[in-house]
Amino acid sequence: MQAFLPLLLFLALAAALLLGLPVAFTLAGVSLAFAGIGILTGTFDASFLDAFPNRLFGTMGNETLLAVPLFVFMGVMLERSKIAERLLTSMATLFGSLRGGLAISVLLVGAVLAASTGIVGATVVTMGLIALPTMLRAGYDPKLAAGTICSAGTLGQIIPPSVILVLLGDVLSNAYQKAQLDQGLFSPKSVSVGDLFAGALLPGLVLVGGYLAYLIGVAWLQPQRAPALPAEMRGNASVLEALQALVPPMALVLAVLGSILAGIATPTEAAAIGAVGATVLAAIGGELSWRGVRETAERTALITSMVYMILIAATLFSLVFRGYGGDDYIHEALTGLPGGVVGALIIVNLTIFLLGFLIDFIEIVFIVVPLVAPPLLALGVDPVWLGVLFAMNLQTSFLTPPFGFALFYLRGVAPAELSTGAIYRGVVPFIVIQLSMLVLLAVWPELVLR
């Protein structure tokens, strides 16, 4: 019976999450319940829980995780200051006379927002409110319009600086050190968030290129699906005005990423630069008020609290799961699969892809990745490549019907005449591009490890 307790723990947690109960409290409650049962039945060593205060103290003192609230603040500030709206309006006016120009503008602005905010929900909702009505009025195919907005919004998962890459960097760093210590390497190497940012940059840009090629192809071969904007819908923005809207957020992104990749600043220090820079941009070229600053701070605190609560609860879950020997079972299962490393990677990525339908990426990063990463890293998988692969995988699940989160975000702000079926059908070509990108990463790891 004891051998099945780790599986029962995981199934009980999955069932509770599917009931819609709060994630952090569900994680902690189920874990404590199973720990209590194990202590009463003599199947769980209570000393495992003694490590929880130290883990909690380590989380509080983790400088890398300080980047999370700073990047969130940066994204929320740019969203609330209407900088994104100005950028999209200028780009759409500039390219609106071209077939597919509005869709291309949405994609490019989505990529800039992804690099600026790193928050999928905010980007999809913002683009859905600003761009979708205009695309539908201009005669765009509703499926193409929905697919473009959803796919552009999910770029925040893979284009740095991304919150998911920050969280993955911290989790994979711990998993990599654990895997090396288990192998008897007592001077373990480390992997940083900056390494993941550098590794994800080129794959993210290649993915944007794939999306862009598809949109240009549709506009060229099926112009009725992506017409040029009618003359009465075009503004009179000049190239100079478009550049004035584009340069400030791009300069901010380059300052943040450039300082990390050049080794001038750590991700946390660069995130602080981004937070201050976003506030300055909002004060100079956006709409900034004391009320807006307060609301930005409140939303940042809310999102950050959610992340940290889930992290703390996931730490408790991992201790209980390890106390029942669950990590040993996972290690044996993955190393014993047919196909070796390839078989293990396929099973793990398929599992993460399916879980992405049901739970948020934060839960997957904090619950699933710490369990599956050490065995994969022990098999010789590169941690940076694995992190980028996981991020791309989660981005794909965000797009995939029927449970992709990006689809729900857009459905929440889309007009009634845009059916859910049209949204689902619209993302299919972009999912094919995503899956092709996953295959490309698998067969050409140099794209990450250049």
Encoded amino acid at 199, one letter = G
Q: Per-residue DSSP letters for 306-349? A: HHHHHHHHHHHHHHHHHHTTHHHHHHHHHHTSTTHHHHHHHHHH
DSSP 228: P
pTM as predicted: 0.83
- The model's pLDDT over 56-88, given as tens digits with 9 standing for 90+, comes to 887 777 787 888 888 888 878 877 777 777 777
| Cα gap 250→272, rounded to integer Å | 16
> Directed axis angle between helix 290-323 and helix 369-378, to 10°?
60
- The model's pLDDT over 157-173, given as tens digits with 9 standing for 90+, comes to 888 877 788 888 888 88
Q: Quick one: how far is CA 183 from the chain centroid? A: 31
* CA dihedral sign of residues 214, 217, 219, 223: negative
Q: Domain segments of the chain: what residues?
A: 2-447
DSSP 51: G
Short-list 116, 120, 166, CA closest to 311: 166
Short-list 150, 162, 144, 75, CA closest to 110: 150
Query: For each successive 10 residues of the chain (450 residues), what is the average pLDDT?
Result: 75 79 84 89 85 82 82 81 75 78 86 68 76 85 92 85 84 83 70 87 92 93 87 65 76 84 85 88 78 87 85 86 82 76 88 79 83 86 91 86 80 83 91 92 84
For the chain, state the CA radius of gyration.
23
| Cα gap 27→315, rounded to integer Å | 9
- The model's pLDDT over 366-390, given as tens digits with 9 standing for 90+, comes to 888 888 888 888 888 899 999 999 9
DSSP 42: T
Element (H, E) at 8: helix 5-18
Tokens found for residue 146: 């929905």
